[in-house]
């Protein structure tokens, strides 16, 4: 199946007289014929369903679909993108370990890695995503267990050279984890470029309608966990009656371990109804992503031509710093998100934002409706103008998330707001 077809048909194939649409299985628990049957499920939880903190048929249909879209062998949904980032690391690192992350990643992930994981004794070593391989390699320590990066950084819109990071990670015998939230598997499939684990905030384009939050971890099944660096995969798990994950589950060791240890203990599994809504978003994902890219490119070109705009970041735009990398990793477009800076700084940016009529001012991105955010007033509000500059954000910067309205209406709205400045 091609990817458009997978969006509609993977994960659920109804049999004779069964519902056409993935049913919402609203039950926390499952029935067994005998105590022996229950015991057998506890021996191998992948054989059947135990309890809704681990698995639910509606959620599993979505997991199977997303795994197929990314080209992975398995996936596990979580209740938020943050939970997916957290568990993707905790499945590899314990107190005393470190991992490497590129510095230009989603702000919430920076905080999770730099502050909260640090409190748990796990060190995140940040590197410049644009640095060369030798430079990135210097960051490795004997206790380094993973490399993490974001395909298309939110909100910096830097395109990651995934193959470069995969080479450095694999040379050092650790997996590469990629946050692929903005491109979605429609625009980029990081596993094809060497990523071992892919995560998403499904709250963004995958859901697309701004109706529920979620996350997912996808396992490529390609990493060799028996290379000596990952004893938790190759030695008996006493918390699960001595299971050796690589022996019992082979290529699926990572994703089964994540479910059996971390989902069991943290319990951040989504509700069936949320998965049902996410599935509706996934069904139209391919169509939507293509249109976001068409709209955003036109909007980026318009902004680029305006004398009230100082700079525009959109990797699909000729002349953008990341244009060449975008041609390689995002040949079909670089999503609907654009960042740009208004001449005159903070005051003019605020005036522009407040003059928009169609685009709404929300703390969200990647919605079907056009939305905007002024980082200096919202996500980066606590910073002074000097600190903002150091963080690469100027007071005039706006994150513009193109929706699926007619692009002429989006541009007209921008025009009239720019005229108010």
Ligand X SMILES: *Cc1c(COP(=O)(O)O)cnc(C)c1O
For the chain, counts of helices (H) and of strands (E): 19, 12
Chain position whose Cβ is nearest to ligand X: 81
Q: Is 190 in the site for ligand X (CB under 6 A)?
A: no
Residue 368 and residue 208: Cα distance in Å, rounded? 6
Instruction: Out of 72, 213, 315, 403, point to the residue binding ligand X (CB under 6 A).
Output: 213
Residue 289 and residue 332: Cα distance in Å, rounded? 9
Residue 190 or residue 213: which is nearer to ligand X going by CB?
A: 213
Q: Residue 207: name the closest of 155, 277, 270, 150 by CA.
A: 277
Per CB under 6 A, contacts with ligand X among 111-170 are 150, 154
Instruction: Out of 56, 82, 144, 335, point to the residue binding ligand X (CB under 6 A).
Output: 82
Residue 82 or residue 341: which is nearer to ligand X going by CB?
A: 82
Q: Is 177 helix (H, G, I), strand (E, B) or coil?
A: strand
Shortest Cβ distance from residue 110 to ligand X (Å)? 10
Q: Which stretch of DSSP H or E encloses residue 279?
A: helix 272-283
Residue 204 or residue 257: which is nearer to ligand X going by CB?
A: 204
Residue 10 or residue 150: which is nearer to ligand X going by CB?
A: 150
Instruction: Out of 23, 57, 108, 345, point to the residue binding ligand X (CB under 6 A).
Output: 108
Q: Is 214 helix (H, G, I), strand (E, B) or coil?
A: coil
Q: Is 100 helix (H, G, I), strand (E, B) or coil?
A: strand
Per CB under 6 A, contacts with ligand X among 246-285 are none
Q: Which stretch of DSSP H or E encloses residue 165?
A: helix 162-171
Its sign, for the CA torsion 258, 92, 187, 402, is positive
Residue 399 and residue 259: Cα distance in Å, rounded? 35
Q: Is 110 in the site for ligand X (CB under 6 A)?
A: no
Residue 33 and residue 200: Cα distance in Å, rounded? 38
Q: Is 207 in the site for ligand X (CB under 6 A)?
A: no
Shortest Cβ distance from residue 191 to ligand X (Å)? 17
Instruction: Out of 52, 91, 98, 109, point to the residue binding ligand X (CB under 6 A).
Output: 109
Instruction: Out of 98, 101, 181, 335, point to the residue binding ligand X (CB under 6 A).
Output: 181
Instruction: Out of 106, 148, 245, 249, point to the residue binding ligand X (CB under 6 A).
Output: 106
Q: Is 204 in the site for ligand X (CB under 6 A)?
A: yes
Q: Which stretch binds ligand X (CB under 6 A): 28-36, 104-112, 251-259, 392-400?
A: 104-112
Q: Is 80 in the site for ligand X (CB under 6 A)?
A: yes
Residue 8 and residue 84: Cα distance in Å, rounded? 24
Bridge pairing between strands 144-150 and 123-127: unpaired
Shortest Cβ distance from residue 234 to ligand X (Å)? 30
Q: Is 240 in the site for ligand X (CB under 6 A)?
A: no
Q: Residue 203: name the closest of 80, 61, 326, 302 by CA.
A: 80
Residue 272 and residue 222: Cα distance in Å, rounded? 29
Binding residues for ligand X, rule: CB under 6 A, are 80-82, 106, 108-109, 150, 154, 179, 181, 201, 203-204, 213, 215
């Amino acid at each position: 199946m091609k990817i458009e077809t997978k969006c509609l048909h993977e994960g659920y194939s109804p049999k004779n007289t069964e519902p056409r649409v993935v049913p919402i299985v609203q039950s926390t628990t499952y029935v067994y014929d005998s105590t022996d049957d229950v015991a057998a499920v506890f021996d191998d939880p992948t054989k059947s369903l135990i309890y809704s903190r681990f698995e639910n048929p509606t959620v599993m249909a979505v997991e199977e679909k997303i795994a197929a879209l990314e080209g992975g062998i398995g996936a596990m949904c979580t209740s938020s993108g943050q939970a997916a980032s957290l568990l993707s690391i905790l499945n590899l690192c314990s107190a005393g370990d470190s991992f490497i992350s590129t510095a230009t990643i989603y702000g919430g992930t920076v905080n999770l890695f730099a502050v909260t994981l640090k409190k748990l004794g796990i060190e995140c070593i940040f590197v410049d995503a644009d640095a060369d391989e030798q430079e990135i390699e210097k960051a490795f320590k004997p206790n380094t267990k993973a490399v993490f990066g974001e395909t298309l950084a939110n909100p910096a819109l830097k395109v990651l050279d995934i193959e470069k990071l995969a080479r450095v990670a694999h040379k050092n015998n650790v997996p590469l984890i990629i946050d692929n939230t903005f491109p979605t598997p429609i625009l980029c499939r990081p596993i094809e470029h060497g990523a071992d684990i892919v995560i998403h905030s499904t709250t963004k384009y995958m859901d697309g309608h701004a109706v529920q939050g979620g996350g997912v971890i996808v396992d490529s099944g390609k990493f060799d966990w028996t290379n000596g660096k990952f004893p938790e995969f190759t030695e008996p798990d006493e918390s699960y009656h001595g299971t050796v994950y690589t022996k019992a589950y082979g290529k699926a060791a990572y994703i089964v371990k994540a479910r059996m240890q971390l989902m069991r203990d943290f319990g951040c599994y989504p509700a069936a109804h949320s998965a049902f809504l996410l599935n509706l978003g996934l069904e139209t994902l391919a169509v939507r992503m293509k249109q976001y890219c068409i709209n955003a490119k036109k909007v980026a070109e318009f902004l680029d031509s305006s004398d009230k705009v100082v700079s525009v970041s959109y990797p699909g735009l000729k002349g953008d710093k990341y244009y060449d990398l975008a041609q390689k990793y995002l040949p079909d477009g670089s999503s609907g998100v654009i960042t740009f800076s208004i001449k005159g700084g903070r005051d003019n940016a605020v005036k522009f934002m407040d003059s928009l009529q169609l685009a709404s001012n929300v703390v969200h991105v990647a919605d079907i409706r056009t939305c905007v955010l002024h980082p200096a007033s919202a996500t980066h509000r606590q910073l002074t103008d000097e600190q903002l500059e150091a963080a690469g954000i100027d007071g005039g910067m706006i994150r513009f998330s193109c929706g699926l309205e007619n692009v002429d209406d989006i541009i007209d709205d921008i025009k009239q707001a720019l005229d108010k400045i």
